[in-house]
Amino acid sequence: MLRKRSPLIICGAFIFVAWNVILIFVLMRHPSTQGALDSPDEPGNTGDRAGGGQFGNIMNEVMRVANAFEAELESQKKILMQIQSHWSVWENKGGVTAAKPKSQAEHSAPAVIPILVIACNRVTVKRCLDKLIEHRPSAELYPIIVSQDCRHAETSDVIASYGSQLTHIKQPDLSNISVPPQHKKFQGYYKISRHYRWALNQVFNTFSYSSVVVVEDDLEVAPDFFEYFRALHPVLKSDPTLWCVSAWNDNGREGFVDPGKASLLYRTDFFPGLGWMFTKDLWAELEPKWPASFWDDWMRHPDQHRDRSCIRPEISRTLTFGWKGVSSGQFYDKYLRFIKLNTEFVPFTKMDLSYLEKKKYDESFEKEVYGAPVVTVEDLQSGKLSGSGPFRVQYSSPGSFKTLARNLGVMDDLKSGVPRAGYRGVVSFLLRGKRVYLAPPVGWSQYDPSWS
């Protein structure tokens, strides 16, 4: 369409120029001008009086022509502007990327992405807040809201010491929660779930933000933490097959990630948490059925994720330093303390992230994983395999997955059948410098929630 219309527009512009040349010629040769010049030959026009009348007539005619010429130019200017406007529209319809008018670009303000810090009784929240403020590029675009449960005075003082650099809110309901007898020792999990619900309602309903990044008080963030979420914000908003973006890789220990691929991102079916972004629309879906306890495992149930995925990085953008907590340090000493925190700033906002679109990603993923040769754990551990991979280790049952995961050094637990950091049942990691996929057989179709 653009190619057909371009000659018409060029022709229109040519006619416009030609018309103005003819117009000038006609106006300058107008008959009334000639009559004024001939007026001295008329009877009664003699002497100085005749000369004065001739000069006045000439001046009046020149002024009239000038005024007419100016009016016509103004009219033609409007026509030219209409041609220019139509040209811009046809450019866009024809697939040509036209630069936005400056005024339009100036009015497209970037999204505000608040950071919600969930706090309680750890004075070490200072480490979390210091890093957030150190790496935050803009206080206006990334307001920090610290929601505190527990009313721990020392922790409250630490948070208050940051003054206007953040907003400090406090959970008003500190009452004990009635729990089933078998869950008496899990009272803390019930209070955490209650706190999350209250805090998220504050962010979305009281402060009226449209998205949020949730950070626990025992997390340290990477230098490109904000850049990471800024770049993935439009991806999350526009892709209905995604429901969160996480800064965390469950298998992101030193030696299990590729230090040369800090920009590499994945889709994952496992809800990672530990620094994650989601939208107000998702909260409207989840809030009415929010659980009384164990909210993170609840998020990993198929009734919640509904076959939607999260984005996660090769190298984590958060690091947990909180051994003490309601989980009593579960997994901390064996896995979490060794998670590698990214130190290289990756300019994600300047990168093409279209490879994360589900169709593109799945096609590439299938070829990469199932095009890799099948090997055994012994093959990998012997050091006899040449090259950097990828190699595929295959499992066929929850038991074989757990055994292989332990032997390979990755996390072996399953939540509703989904392995940590897994996508379509596949867990990707590095082992002795070789890319390895711990994968189900070809033809995998869906998770089995009984695999737990």
Is residue 33 assigned to a domain?
yes
**What pLDDT was estimated at residue 337?**
87
Cα distances (Å, whole numbers) of residue 441 to 220, 290, 393, 410: 38, 35, 10, 19
Give dist(CA 97, CA 95) in Å, integer: 6
Total count of domains within the chain: 3
Q: Domain ends where: 356, 373, 394?
A: 356
> For the chain, give me the number of helices (H) and strands (E)?
14, 15
What's 388's domain CATH number? 3.10.180.20
**What pLDDT was estimated at residue 328?**
43
Based on the fold, state whether residues 180 and 86 are members of the same structural domain. no
Based on the fold, state whether residues 268 and 228 are members of the same structural domain. yes
Based on the fold, state whether residues 239 and 211 are members of the same structural domain. yes
> What are the structure tokens assigned to 359, written together?
């169709």
Based on the fold, state whether residues 30 and 53 are members of the same structural domain. yes
Closest CA to 307 of 233, 232, 242: 242
Give dist(CA 199, CA 205) in Å, integer: 10
Based on the fold, state whether residues 246 and 370 are members of the same structural domain. no
Catalytic site includes residue 296 = yes
Based on the fold, state whether residues 188 and 281 are members of the same structural domain. yes
**What pLDDT was estimated at residue 452?**
85
Based on the fold, state whether residues 258 and 372 are members of the same structural domain. no
Based on the fold, state whether residues 121 and 94 are members of the same structural domain. no
Give dist(CA 336, CA 363) in Å, integer: 32
Is residue 70 assigned to a domain?
yes
Q: Domain ends where: 356, 390, 414?
A: 356
Q: 232 with 245: CB under 8 angstroms?
A: yes
Is residue 20 assigned to a domain?
yes
**What pLDDT was estimated at residue 43?**
37
**What pLDDT was estimated at residue 288?**
98
Q: Provide the residue type at 50 as one letter.
A: A
Q: 71 with 27: CB under 8 angstroms?
A: no
Across the chain, which has 452 residues, the per-10-residue mean pLDDT values are 45 52 49 40 39 50 53 51 41 38 56 98 97 98 97 97 98 95 93 98 98 98 98 98 98 96 98 98 98 97 97 98 60 84 98 98 98 97 93 97 97 96 98 97 95 90
Based on the fold, state whether residues 78 and 142 are members of the same structural domain. no
Based on the fold, state whether residues 303 and 157 are members of the same structural domain. yes
Based on the fold, state whether residues 126 and 71 are members of the same structural domain. no
Active-site entry in 296, 297, 362, 379: 296
Is residue 110 assigned to a domain?
no
What's 350's domain CATH number? 3.90.550.10
| Interacting residues of 226 by C-beta distance below 8 A, sequence separation 6+ | 135, 136, 137, 142
What's the angle, vertex CA 260, arms to CA 318 and CA 434, rounded to 5?
105
**What pLDDT was estimated at residue 63?**
52
Q: 95 with 101: CB under 8 angstroms?
A: no
Domain hosting residue 21, numbered range: 2-105
